[in-house]
Structure 1
Amino acid sequence: MSSLSFADATELAGAIKAGKLACVDATQAALAACVKQDELGAITYLNPEAGLAAARALDQEASAHPERFAERAFAGVPTVAKDLGGPFPGLPVMAGSRLFIRSGNGADSDLAERFRDAGLCVFGLSTSPEFGFSLASEPAIGPICRNPLDPMRTAGGSSGGAAAAVAAGIVAIAHATDAGGSIRVPAACCGLIGLKPTRGAVPAGPSFGNHLGGIASELAVTRSVRDTARIFDVIRGRTRGPFADITQFSAKTGKLRIGLLADTGQHYAIEQDRAEAVEAAARLLEGQGYELISLRWEDVERAVEASARAFGDIISVNIASLIDDLDLDMRAAETMTQAFITRGRAMPATALWSSLNGAVRASRSLWEIFDTVDVIVMPMLASAPPLIGSFPTDHSDTELHLERMTTFAPLASLANISGFPAITLPFGEDTEGLPLPVQLMAPMGEDNLLLQLASVLEAEQRWQHRFPIAGFPK
Structure 2
Amino acid sequence: MVPRMDAFASLDATAQADLVRRKDVHPRELVDAAIARIERLNPRLNAVIASRFEQAREEARGPLPEGPFRGVPFLIKDLLASFAGMPLTSGSRYLAGFVPPHDSELVARYKRAGLVILGKTNLPEFGILCTTEPRLFGPTRNPWNPDHTPGGSSGGAAAAVASGMVPFAHGGDGAGSLRIPAACCGLFGLKPSRGRMPMGPDVGDVMHGLVTEHALTRSVRDSAALLDATDGADVGAPYAAPPKARPYAQEVGAPPGTLRIAYTTRAHTGVPIDPECQAAVDQTVRRLTELGHTVVEGSLEVPGEELLAQHFIALWSAGVVLAIDGPSLLTGQESAPEHFEPLTWALYEMGRQQSVSQYLLAHHALQGYARAFAAKFADVDAWLLPTTAEPPPPLGTFDSPPEEPLTGLLRAAAFTPFTPLANLTGHPAMSVPLHWTAGHLPVGVQFVGRFGDEATLFRLASQLEAAFPWNSRLPALFA
* TM-score, normalised by the number of residues in structure 1: 0.90
State yes or no: 1:367 paired with 2:374: yes
Where does 1:403-422 land on structure 2 (aligned, <5 Å)?
403-422=410-429
Equivalent residue for 1:329? 335
How far did 1:56 drift?
Answer: 1.6
Give the aligned CA root-mean-square deviation in angstroms: 2.4
Q: Select the residue among 279, 288, 296 that pairs with 1:293.
A: 296
Q: Which amino acid aligns with 1:316?
A: S
Per-residue CA shift, 1:300-354, capped at 9, x if unaligned?
3657644433332212112223433415323211111111111111112222222
State yes or no: 1:235 paired with 2:239: no
Count of residue correspondences: 455
State yes or no: 1:13 paired with 2:17: yes
Equivalent residue for 1:281? 284
In the alignment, the residues of structure 1 paired with residue 389 and residue 478 of structure 2 have an alpha-carbon distance, to the nearest angstrom, of 32
> Structure 1 residues 122, 391: CA separation in 2 closer, same or farther (over 3 Å shift)?
same
Q: Select the residue among 259, 262, 271 that pairs with 2:265.
A: 262
Where does 1:140-289 land on structure 2 (aligned, <5 Å)?
140-208=135-203, 211-240=206-235, 241-249=237-245, 254-264=257-267, 267-289=270-292
Q: Is the 8 A contact 2:84 2:99 kept in 1?
A: no
How far did 1:208 drift?
Answer: 1.6
Q: Which amino acid aligns with 1:248?
A: K
How far did 1:280 drift?
Answer: 2.2
Where does 1:44-59 land on structure 2 (aligned, <5 Å)?
44-57=49-62
> Structure 1 residues 105, 292: CA separation in 2 closer, same or farther (over 3 Å shift)?
closer
More off after superposition, 421-430 vs 83-92: 83-92
In the alignment, the residues of structure 2 paired with residue 155 and residue 56 of structure 1 have an alpha-carbon distance, to the nearest angstrom, of 33
How far did 1:457 drift?
Answer: 1.5
In the alignment, the residues of structure 2 paired with residue 8 and residue 259 of structure 1 have an alpha-carbon distance, to the nearest angstrom, of 31
Equivalent residue for 1:129? 124
In the alignment, the residues of structure 1 paired with residue 354 and residue 268 of structure 2 have an alpha-carbon distance, to the nearest angstrom, of 32
> Structure 1 residues 185, 386: CA separation in 2 closer, same or farther (over 3 Å shift)?
same
Q: Which consecutive residues of structure 2, in runs of 5 or more, have no partner in the other structure?
A: 1-8
More off after superposition, 32-41 vs 366-375: 32-41
Equivalent residue for 2:5? none
> Structure 1 residues 306, 174: CA separation in 2 closer, same or farther (over 3 Å shift)?
farther
Identity %: 33
Equivalent residue for 1:383? 390
Equivalent residue for 1:453? 460
Equivalent residue for 2:351? 344
In the alignment, the residues of structure 2 paired with residue 287 and residue 365 of structure 1 have an alpha-carbon distance, to the nearest angstrom, of 31
In the alignment, the residues of structure 2 paired with residue 317 and residue 263 of structure 1 have an alpha-carbon distance, to the nearest angstrom, of 29
State yes or no: 1:100 paired with 2:99: no
More off after superposition, 104-113 vs 371-380: 104-113
Q: Select the residue among 440, 450, 455 that pairs with 1:433.
A: 440
How far did 1:19 drift?
Answer: 2.9
Equivalent residue for 2:310? 309
More off after superposition, 321-330 vs 48-57: 321-330
SS at match of 1:436: strand
More off after superposition, 119-128 vs 9-18: 9-18
In the alignment, the residues of structure 2 paired with residue 440 and residue 361 of structure 1 have an alpha-carbon distance, to the nearest angstrom, of 22
Q: Is the 8 A contact 1:93 1:106 kept in 2?
A: no
Equivalent residue for 2:84? 89
SS at match of 2:270: coil
SS at match of 2:93: coil
> Structure 1 residues 312, 53: CA separation in 2 closer, same or farther (over 3 Å shift)?
farther
In the alignment, the residues of structure 2 paired with residue 151 and residue 469 of structure 1 have an alpha-carbon distance, to the nearest angstrom, of 9
In the alignment, the residues of structure 1 paired with residue 283 and residue 137 of structure 2 have an alpha-carbon distance, to the nearest angstrom, of 39
SS at match of 1:175: strand
Where does 1:75-86 land on structure 2 (aligned, <5 Å)?
75-86=70-81
Q: Which consecutive residues of structure 1, in runs of 5 or more, have no partner in the other structure?
A: 62-67
Q: Is the 8 A contact 2:388 2:417 kept in 1?
A: yes
Q: Is the 8 A contact 2:276 2:391 kept in 1?
A: no
Equivalent residue for 2:35? 31
How far did 1:53 drift?
Answer: 2.8
Q: Is the 8 A contact 2:268 2:306 kept in 1?
A: no
Q: Is the 8 A contact 1:200 1:239 kept in 2?
A: no
